[in-house]
Structure 1
Amino acid sequence: MLKEERRNQILRAAKKVFALKGYHSTGVADIIEECKVARGTFYLYFKSKRAIFETLLDDFLKELQKRVLRIDETVGLEGIYLQLQDNVTRVLDAFAENPDMVRIILNEAVGVDKGFDKKLDDFYAGLLEMIEQSLILGIQMGIVRPLDTKVISASVLGSVKEVIHRVLQGRLASGDELRHIVDELLSYNLRALLVPELAQKL
């Protein structure tokens, strides 16, 4: 087996075990048992349980960041809506494709240590900044009503996170119905954000 394939095999096993047992209840022995490699082989690729957990977290956050593209606000309301729709769909697709990783982020990554907390905080802060800057520009363009951009950007992100959490728990539809969820999420948020004459067009 090639070196990169072996590394990915260990990562897949660790992701599965962390999602099932949690970070604190998982040991290196659990990971090597799952992927059927020797302990020495594990340490050729990762220094510790924390190191492989950090790699999983970093890789997934980078994947999410790649899927969230900056909005071109110069293309009109319909164009902005389509870009938002694509962004949210790509993020939800990433979550649907990686349920184990999302469970780790939602249930395990917070509170492991200050380093992991900062990674998550920085990731969410980046998303909040993108949302807030879009709101500020929307207000300047006259398409978003006057509002507290910091409060509302946090509200928008919070609603998306809650929907994702419920999709993973099976409380909301997923798969082929993902587009419907995205449309409802965007419609709800945009109707509250846009000036009345534009909100009525959604």
Structure 2
Amino acid sequence: MIPVKSKKGRKGEESRKRLLKAAANEFAIKGFHKTKVSDIVKRAGLTQPSFYLYFQSKEAIFEELITDFHSRIRTLTESLLLDNGLHTKDVSKRVLSAVETVFQCLAEDKNVTKIGVFLNPEAKQMKKDLAAVLKENLEAEQRLGYFDSELDTETVAECLIGMIVHVTDSFLLTGMKAPENLAAEVVNLFIYGMLPKGRDVK
């Protein structure tokens, strides 16, 4: 979303960032409908006219927060494709690192994450989009021999996205678990399963 006007200089950029941060906080606490522009500028320590120098409306700043979040998460997901030539023993380590990176990103600004994942009216479509990107990554990694050739990558992608979303809501946003702990638990479950080590499903 392009702002109504743009103020050049460092001060103008700082004011814009303050408005975005304040808006994320207000939306996360009160929801979109109960948040007012006056609430946002009060939290940001700015005046209401200054808000309209950067954003046309409450809808515009909400949309920018969501769009930026979606873009960041999609770019991150695309970047996590495993490289060719990995040693078998390093695959699980790289997967762990990738999942931890995702949780760290989601934990950076919990208010923005809450808006982007849970308050976003287009959240369902966003999750489908991310699952499609993840599926493409998994298919490429499957062709490299990193994962079982019989895996249904679409199911795996949907399960991973669903799990990440749910544990983010239950543990990450509440501060109950750190990104590295959640990543270790998720990867351990997906890579090694629930059975005792050394026991196969009959």
Task: Bin the TM-score by the shorter chain.
Answer: 0.7 to 0.9
Q: What is the distance in 2 between the residues matched to 1:142 and 1:170?
A: 34
SS of residue paired to 2:87 = helix
User: Kindly tell me: are residues 32 and 61 of structure 1, through their superposed partners in 2, closer, same or farther at Cα, counting changes over 3 Å?
Assistant: same
Aligned partner of 1:127: which letter? L
Stretch deviating more after TM superposition (35-44 or 138-147): 138-147
* 2:106 is equivalent to residue 101 of structure 1: no
Higher-helix-fraction structure? 1
Q: Which structure has more RCO (C-alpha within 8 Å, separation ≥ 6)?
A: 2
Contact residue 132 and residue 149 of structure 1 kept, 8 A: yes
Contact residue 89 and residue 182 of structure 1 kept, 8 A: yes
Aligned partner of 2:155: which letter? V
User: Kindly tell me: are residues 74 and 121 of structure 1, through their superposed partners in 2, closer, same or farther at Cα, counting changes over 3 Å?
Assistant: farther
* 2:47 is equivalent to residue 43 of structure 1: no
Q: Deviation string for 1:124-180 (max 9, x for gaps)?
A: 334322332344345443741513322222112211211111123537422xxx323
Q: Deviation string for 1:112-132 (max 9, x for gaps)?
A: xxxxx1xx4554334322332
* 2:33 is equivalent to residue 24 of structure 1: yes
Q: What is the distance in 1 between the residues matched to 2:93 and 2:158?
A: 21
User: Kindly tell me: are residues 78 and 142 of structure 1, through their superposed partners in 2, closer, same or farther at Cα, counting changes over 3 Å?
Assistant: closer
Stretch deviating more after TM superposition (94-103 or 67-76): 67-76
Quote the residue 1:133 is aligned against. Answer: 136
Q: What is the distance in 2 between the residues matched to 1:91 and 1:129?
A: 16
Question: Structure 1 length normalisation: TM-score?
Answer: 0.78
User: Kindly tell me: are residues 27 and 128 of structure 1, through their superposed partners in 2, closer, same or farther at Cα, counting changes over 3 Å?
Assistant: same
Quote the residue 1:182 is aligned against. Answer: 183
Question: Structure 2 length normalisation: TM-score?
Answer: 0.78
Unpaired runs of 5+ residues, structure 1, are 111-116
Unpaired runs of 5+ residues, structure 2, are 1-9
SS of residue paired to 2:82 = coil
Aligned partner of 1:189: which letter? F
Q: Deviation string for 1:61-115 (max 9, x for gaps)?
A: 23323433222243133333233222211121122221111222343212xxxxx
Aligned partner of 2:167: which letter? V
Quote the residue 1:162 is aligned against. Answer: 166
SS of residue paired to 1:104 = helix
Q: Deviation string for 1:170-194 (max 9, x for gaps)?
A: 37422xxx323212211211235xx
* 2:67 is equivalent to residue 67 of structure 1: no
Q: What is the distance in 2 between the residues matched to 1:152 and 1:64?
A: 18
Contact residue 89 and residue 179 of structure 1 kept, 8 A: yes
Quote the residue 1:90 is aligned against. Answer: 101
Aligned residues: 185
What is the RMSD computed on CA atoms of the aligned residues? 2.7
Identity %: 24
User: Kindly tell me: are residues 143 and 47 of structure 1, through their superposed partners in 2, closer, same or farther at Cα, counting changes over 3 Å?
Assistant: closer
Q: What is the distance in 2 between the residues matched to 1:5 and 1:80?
A: 42
* 2:155 is equivalent to residue 151 of structure 1: yes
Q: What is the distance in 1 between the residues matched to 2:129 and 2:84?
A: 18
SS of residue paired to 1:75 = coil
Contact residue 88 and residue 146 of structure 2 kept, 8 A: no
